[in-house]
Amino acid sequence: MSQWFECKVKYDKMMENGIMKSVSEPYLVDALSFTEAEARITEEMRPFISGEFSIATVKREKIAEIFYNESGDKWYKVKTVFITLDERSGVEKKTSCTMLVQADCFKSALDNFMEGMKGTLADFEIASIVETPLMDVFRENLSGNSANNG
């Protein structure tokens, strides 16, 4: 199971109007520890940033599943509530989890999520879908090399 860490990268970015501005951008990385997450995001960002940059924060994110869509340029958090029935007591139990969906707009985020959930046997409800500020998601692929997915 993947462990996800949100890393905020702080650096000076050339804006479209030609002015340099200090920015802090969030990225998500798949890593085993905080130390590995910081090392991975440093490795991933080095080719894209000229000059110095720093990792401002690293925090663990509880993401149950990620639905990728290469045509999407935004990331949406989908809070999902799974509904199960306790057979002994007959009481409905609700368990929430957060999933991430890559899409180009809210409607395609919903569509991509529903497509990804097609084979799910459990009953679920969507509690919320919110666009995140995430710039990109970096997951570890099976060969041990990182894969950029966004």
pLDDT at 17 over 70: yes
Q: What pLDDT, in 10s, does the model give residues 41-90?
A: 999 999 988 889 999 999 999 999 999 999 999 999 999 999 988 888 88
Check: CB of residue 123 under 8 Å from CB of residue 16.
Answer: no
The model's confidence at residue 142, banded by pLDDT at 50, 70 and 90, is very low
The pLDDT value recorded for residue 146 is 43
The average pLDDT across 119-129 equals 93
The pLDDT value recorded for residue 89 is 87
Residue type for position 101: V
The average pLDDT across 84-97 equals 89
Distance CA 98, CA 81 (A): 9
pLDDT at 147 over 50: no
Q: SS3 for 112? A: helix
Return the higher-pLDDT residue of 146 and 74. Answer: 74
pLDDT at 145 over 70: no
The model's confidence at residue 140, banded by pLDDT at 50, 70 and 90, is confident
Alpha-carbon distances, residue 109 vs 12, 13, 99, 102, 147 (angstroms): 31, 29, 11, 7, 22
